[in-house]
Amino acid sequence: MHPDNASAESYLGISKSAKERRWVESLDLRGVEMANAIAQGQDIPDIVARVMVARGLDVDTAAHYLDPSIKHLMPDPSSLTDMDIAADRIAKAIQRREKIAIFGDYDVDGATSSSLMKLFLRHCGCDASIYIPDRIFEGYGPNPDAMDRLIYEGHTLILTLDCGSTSFDALQRAAERQTDVVVIDHHQVGEELPVSVALVNPNRQDDLSQLGHLAAVGVTFMTLVAVNRLLRQSGFYGKGCPPPDLLGWLDLVALGTVCDVVPLIGLNRAFVVKGLMVIRSNHNLGLNALLAVSRVSGPVSPYHLGFMLGPRINAGGRIGDAALGARLLTCTDPSEAEHIASELERLNKERQALEQIMLEDAITQAERQLLEDPECAGLVTFSSEWHAGIVGLLASRLKERFRRPAFAIAIGDDGKGTGSGRSISGSDLGAAVRAAHAEGLLLKGGGHAMAAGLTIEPDRIREFRHFLHERLRSQVEEARASDELKIDAALTANGATEELVTTLEKAGPYGAGNPEPIFVFPAHKVSFADVVGQGGHIRCTISNSSGGKLKAICFRASEEPIGKLLLDNRGNSLHIAGSLTLNYWQGRPSVQLRIVDAAEIKGP
């Protein structure tokens, strides 16, 4: 709640931290007053109210925020363009017992969307088939050959989930063969749309639902609400088929929502809050098996979904069988679930090893580009030795390390480059990629503000890099100039208690759009620090003069400036910033600090 953060004083005088950020307080005087009013009105701790106000809440919105209701937050599904047409076509297919194909994307959002649809159709007596394309050989989204195959197999309705909005050739092929396609998606699209019976996408330009922040799995859930309503009205449900418990599938909606890194605000936040409750009831065999191989202990949190379950499901699409995730999430046999989960665990370890090798090359290329042009607005790296399934992870690592949009491109045996990009807040990468495609620089391209994908001829990569720089330069300059770490409060090691962490959960769950509270531990000694694990994590202990101690970890930091600062200051004091979490060992919780930044203590 700083109306002018640029003029706000730096917190603890930190204008340039280890991560080159300025630290600022998240609340101004007016924000503190509002937090006091919310704390009193809702009878919640002051620190929870401060966190809520720092994330845009006020007195009028606080009550619903603390108890998010899907019924309260979800609008009529018919507010989405084409929803009524889509729901009617799916309902008719169910009533006629048509053969339905589900064509999903190969990431977690695609797997959960496909699984959700399959579970609903299975409940209604339609055992639909799921088709997930091979990332390497088919690429993203529907393709004409896949359409031909599904039609040959007798499918009369094809549902594309988390894809299809820009698949002109594939959907034209289906139309020519008189097979209906319903698109359920959330990716950004231009004015021109492919032919289909219905295209439900809150990000199409003629959609007024204001639901563009939903992941595809959220749009799929809304579609099923609409289909369910039609089936109920038609008298479809009876003794042989009772109405489904849609809320019982919110575990999948929560997983896809968190892993697609969409903002945890409004309806998305309600999906995750209620979905976590469903996950903790342990009724999905596949999720239970994945939790077991991931060695998750303690209550499942968004962190577990995004950093433990998600990468394992994605591993199938990256370097293995892309359909493994959807098979796992719809599995009805415990032994099969355990087998698939074990295979995903193996693939994830293989993925981690490949990523480490590729990342070293990508970092070297990025550093060379920055030497040539320190103001480079978009990093573009590439190699014919890279695995196309891992380029998105490389782009994410480069973006985090160098604080600017980044692309990683794998040159395939066909001589074409398949790339993935990740952006920083304030820089619209999807729009830039669509513009590059419109100018003929790319063979294919699309995405949204924070992530994009492309296909490119290798000899156009340098030209694309220049285009990206010119397109994003002003956005990146502004974003980097205003790069601040907002501090919610100062704590001591003694004050970082289990009770505090539990209390803060009232304002959660935290994730994209609702960032975890950041606390500063001023002038705390780094009493222990060492590198652990293959990922270069730094585990340490910080302490204060009154004897308080707090265990901490800084992920993937050993080669970063923040890692070097921590390791070089063993026995010395630093200002340390991070978020608090409960770490479970043998069922017993302990507080752990996840360090996100640090700074040297300035002299008087």
pLDDT digits (tens, 9 = 90+) for 344-369: 999 999 999 999 999 999 999 999 99
Cβ-based neighbours of 353, under 8 Å, separated by 6 or more: none
- CATH number, domain of 341, equals 3.90.1640.30
Inter-residue contact 164 to 194 (CB < 8 Å): yes
Residue 3 above 50 pLDDT? no
Structure tokens at 516: 């975890």
Domain assignment of residue 358, yes or no: no
Residue 67 lies in a domain: no
pLDDT band at 554 (very low <50, low <70, confident <90, very high): very high
The H or E element containing residue 456 is strand 451-456
Phi, psi of 529 (to 5 degrees): -160, 135
Give the C-alpha separation, 139 to 544, whole Å: 53
Please report which confidence band the pLDDT of residue 268 belongs to, taking 50, 70 and 90 as the band edges: very high
* Domain CATH for 48: 2.40.50.460
Write down how long the chain is: 604
Chain-centroid distance, C-alpha 201: 18
Q: Are residues 490 and 532 in the same domain?
A: yes
- Are 413 and 448 members of one domain? yes
Same domain assignment for residues 450 and 564: no
The answer as to whether 190 is a domain residue is: yes
Residue 67: partners with Cβ closer than 8 Å, 6 or more residues away: none
* 471 and 517 inside one domain: no
The residue among 346, 364, 395 that closes a domain is 346
- Do residues 98 and 216 share a domain? yes
Q: How many Å apart are CA 428 and CA 203, to the nearest integer?
A: 14
Across 136-161, average pLDDT: 94
pLDDT at 585: 80
Indicate whether 476 and 505 sit together in one domain. no
* Res. 588 pLDDT band, cuts 50 70 90: confident
Residue 603 sits at the vertex; the CA angle it makes with 599 and 604, to the nearest 5 degrees, is: 135
In a domain, 389, yes or no: yes
Quote the pLDDT of residue 5. 47
CATH code of the domain in which 462 resides: 3.10.310.30
Q: Residues 405, 525: one domain?
A: no
The backbone region for 523, taken as left when phi is positive above 0, alpha when psi lies in -120 to 50, beta otherwise, is: left
Q: What is the band of 6 on the pLDDT scale with cuts at 50, 70, 90? A: very low
Residue 522 has pLDDT above 70, yes or no: yes
pTM, entire model: 0.90
| Tally of domains within the chain | 3
- Mark residue 403 as left, alpha or beta (left: phi above 0; alpha: psi -120 to 50; beta: remaining): left
Give me the residue label for tokens 């074409």.
Answer: 416
Please, which residues bridge with residue 411 across strands?
A: 417
Q: Which domain holds residue 450?
A: 373-482
118 and 43 in a common domain: no
Percent of the chain scoring above 70 in pLDDT: 98
Residue 124: inside a domain, yes or no? yes
The stretch 90-98 carries a mean pLDDT of 97
pLDDT digits (tens, 9 = 90+) for 366-394: 999 999 999 999 999 999 999 999 999 99
Name the domain boundary from 454, 482, 510.
482
Cβ atoms of 268 and 210 closer than 8 Å = no
Residue 317 has pLDDT above 90, yes or no: no
pLDDT at 415 over 70: yes
pLDDT at 85: 98
What is the Cα–Cα distance from 586 to 563, expressed in whole angstroms? 29
Whether 362 is covered by a domain: the verdict is no
Q: What is the pLDDT of residues 490-512, one digit of tens each?
A: 999 999 999 999 999 989 999 88
Of 447, 465, 482, the last residue of a domain is 482
Residue 173 lies in a domain: yes
Residue 335 and residue 209 in one domain: yes
- What's the pLDDT band for 603 if we cut at 50, 70, 90? low
Whether residue 84 is found in the same domain as residue 232:
yes
Are residues 523 and 507 part of one domain? yes
Helix runs in 68-123, H state only:
70-73, 83-95, 108-123
Q: Does some domain include residue 169?
A: yes
